[in-house]
Structure 1
Amino acid sequence: MDQPSGGISLEIVGVSKRFLARGRMVEALAPVDLQVKAGELICLLGPSGCGKSTLLSIIAGLEPPSGGLIRAGGRKVQGPGIDRVLLFQEAALFPWLDVQHNVAFGLRQAGMPEAERMRMAREYLELVHLSGFEHSYVHQLSGGMRQRVALARALVLNPAVLLMDEPFGALDALTRDKLQIELETIWAATGKTILFVTHNVREAVALGDRVLVFSPRPGRIIQEFSITLPRPRSLEHHQTIDQAREILAVLHAGQRPDEEANDEW
């Protein structure tokens, strides 16, 4: 049996991914090695198709690696588990359920009594600043509000690891900036381990304890940046901009000449 790793929340050991596409084998992810401390917030940056989202799916247990292994809390990942929850760019809420029942859905699946799961749903809706919207439906919410509901639905399960795949990518700039601040506040309050995929370099600097830069496919970590700027961090502060400029240079240097630059400043 795997032994717990103490302060290590995730161990990624030689994880790679290959798949068959149009009759040929494609290497999506080169072997990746990474240790993530409990409570860290790590941002993943890289060009589209470099395997960042694939890595999150493997960590979540939604697809197997072609090579290597992942340990979460010292135990080998062999499938999905409520200790690791993945949030996508689209909130993926159930339109036939109101907000409170969307948040409580996972607790219902786990067999929790209704009164307790409704209480917990209200508690986490308050955490994401949606008190008063418990009985609203998805079509009545803005994009930012939907993402808050999705975040509450993930947090109510009390996962050790939160995996976030460009969760703010489809939002307008003002809503995105506000949710970045709220996510940092929630992370500080809950102590969750977070892996956060983004194409926005300044967002990565503002949020991350570390920023990992991936190469084009097959994706591999080409450089790691430790972000030591004091929190909270402003997107417009000169230190954030200077650090982002340094990371952006590495991103551009790592792209192939024919690679379309899609990172955001």
Structure 2
Amino acid sequence: MADVKSILHEVKAGRLSIEQAEELLMGASRLDYATLDLDRAGRTGFPEVVYGAGKSVDQLIGIIDRLQAHQELVLVTRVSEKQAKQVQEQRPNIQYIAEAGLLIFSKKPLMPKREGYIAVVAAGTSDWQVAQEAAWTVRCFGSETRVIADVGVAGIHRLFHRLEEIRGAAVIICIAGMEGALTSVVAGLVDKPVIAVPTSVGYGANFGGVAALLAMLNSCANGVAVVNIDNGFGAGYMAGMIHRQMVR
């Protein structure tokens, strides 16, 4: 919650305008096309995140500029290369992670804040973008991330080669398309929480990820939670929250 007395002192000293003070007291900043939640970090421990798909470049820049004034970290998800190029032409201090589809602005380097790491385990290379979205979200939370790719059940020996590294993680994010079988296998081999991410990778009967989603929801292994199809961000967010609580 806003510290009213501190805000009033800042206005009196001329360091805050009345408009800025109003935004801080309301906990929200209004643009013509968006209302930004400035108090999100205070309530949840992580600042407002922007969904970039469908937004114009001018809208993205307007939102980023406003959030930069109030947040140490600004994260924009599902950003196309075309959008990113146009944003960076006007705001070169914004980093674009093309393989994750993310725009990131951070006033401080994204360094691990706590011991341990989160493993992002991907069944195939085709799941790479979802895996990277999850991994970079975890890094924004302040946790180390290790991406372990192409260890799907079609060649299960590949998984066993990396099993000790996976078991050493504090939390495991398991990403798979097709029939989504990797989640049940991994969860049956580890003593850590597993967050499953079904992907839309697969042939026709995969139904755009629904087959993997249902397989993960019906997993016979325990300790599995499932996010929506292709939702690497949601999985990374949940893993970051769990790791933060474990350290506390």
Which one has a larger percent helix, Structure 1 or Structure 2?
Answer: 2
Structure 1 and Structure 2 fold alike (TM over 0.5): no
Report the structure number with the largest CA radius of gyration: 2
TM-score calculated relative to the size of structure 1: 0.30
Which one has a larger percent strand, Structure 1 or Structure 2?
Answer: 1
Higher RCO, Cα 8 Å, sep 6+: 1
TM-score calculated relative to the size of structure 2: 0.31
